Structure 1
Amino acid sequence: MKPTGDDVAGLIARSTPEKRRRDAETLTALMQEVSGREPVVWGTIIGFGSCHYRYPTGTEGDTGLIGFAPRKAATTVYLLDGVDAHAAAIAKLGPHTAGAGCLYIKDLEEIDLDVLRGILERSLAWAESGGAEGMQIEVRS
C-alpha cells in the first residue's frame, strides 16, 4: 500500500455516519499526539509514520506505523503487533470487536481513551523497535 496524497480532512468529511467523522477527528488528534507524526492517507486508511514490513513467509508491504479507517459500520484501528499483544488492556477498553490486527469501534465516546492511548503507545513502540519474530519492521518515517 502507498500513500495516495489524498486530503485527510476530505476523507474525514466524506465519512458516514456523522459519528464516524467525529471519531475520526478525535483519533487523528490522538494518533498525531502519540506518534509525533502527521496524518497521511493510505487508500482509505489514515496512517501515521510509515514502515516496510516482512513476514517469514515472504509476504511484505508498506503501511503506516499506526492508523485507522473511518468505515461506515465501525472505525477500524490497525495494530501492527496484533490485538493479542494487548489482551489485558483491550479487556478494559469498552465496547468493541476485534480481528487479528484490528479493533472495530462503533462509538469512540464509549471507549476509555486512556486505555486506547496506552495500546497505541505500546503498538507504536513495538513497531519502532523493529517488530519481533513473525514480523520484521523497517521504519521509514
Structure 2
Amino acid sequence: MTYQQKTKETDNSVVEFIESVDSMKKREDAYKLVDIFTETTGYEAKMWGPSIIGFGSYHYKYESGHEGVAPLVGFSPRKAKISLYFAPGDTKRQELLNSFGKHTTGKGCVYINKVADIDLAVLQALINQSVQFLQETYPNS
C-alpha cells in the first residue's frame, strides 16, 4: 500500500482562505505573515491542503522510503493559535527561538497568539534559516 500524502499544494485561493478565518485580528495577522513570508522567501503564497499557507517547496525522501513534497515554510491561522511551520530537525532553530518572543513549540510547529507578540526580524531569520537548511538537506528539490 502506498502512502498518500495528505497535505498537497492546491489551487485554492489564499485570499479566500484568509477571508474565511473567523477572527478579524487573525485575518490581519495572516495578511501580515503572507507579506513577511513572501518578501523573505521570494516565493508566492500557495494553499497546501485545506488550511496551510506555504511558500516554496521541496521533495523529501526518508531512509524508510517515505517521500513527498512539502512547503519550505508556511503558517496556518488556526482557531486557537497561529501555527508557523519551519524545518523540523534544524538545530539552529532553537537558538533563534530564544529571542523570538511569546510562543510555544510542537514537533514541527511554532505557535503564536498574534504577530505583535514576536520579533519580526527573528521571524525573518527563522524563515531564512529554514529555507537554507531544507535546500541544503534536499538539494534536488
**RMSD after superposition:** 1.5
> Could you tell me which residue of structure 2 aligns to residue 52 of structure 1?
59
1:13 to 13, 19, 23: 19
Question: Which runs of no fewer than 5 residues in structure 2 stay unpaired?
Answer: 1-6
Aligned residue for 2:8, secondary structure, equals coil
TM-fit CA distance, 1:128: 1.6
8 Å contact kept, 1:6–1:41: yes
> Could you tell me which residue of structure 2 aligns to residue 113 of structure 1?
120
TM-fit CA distance, 1:83: 6.2
Query: Cα 1:102–1:50, aligned 2, differ >3 Å: closer, same or farther?
Result: same
Q: Deviations over 1:17-66 (max 9, x none)?
A: 22211111111011101111111101111111112112222222211111
Alignment partners' CA distance in 2, 1:81 and 1:35: 18
Alignment partners' CA distance in 1, 2:105 and 2:120: 17
> Could you tell me which residue of structure 2 aligns to residue 122 of structure 1?
129
Question: How is 1:14-93 mapped onto 2 (pairs within 5 angstroms)?
Answer: 14-43=20-49, 44-82=51-89, 84-93=91-100
Query: Cα 1:16–1:82, aligned 2, differ >3 Å: closer, same or farther?
Result: farther
Alignment partners' CA distance in 2, 1:93 and 1:37: 23
TM-score, reference length from structure 1: 0.87
TM-score, reference length from structure 2: 0.87
More strand by share: 1
Across the two proteins, how many residue pairs are aligned to each other? 134
Aligned residue for 1:32, secondary structure, equals helix
Aligned residue for 2:69, secondary structure, equals strand
8 Å contact kept, 1:52–1:61: yes
Query: Cα 1:81–1:65, aligned 2, differ >3 Å: closer, same or farther?
Result: same
Structure 1's consecutive aligned runs of 4 or more residues displaced over 3 angstroms after TM superposition are 81-85
Amino acid at match of 1:64: P
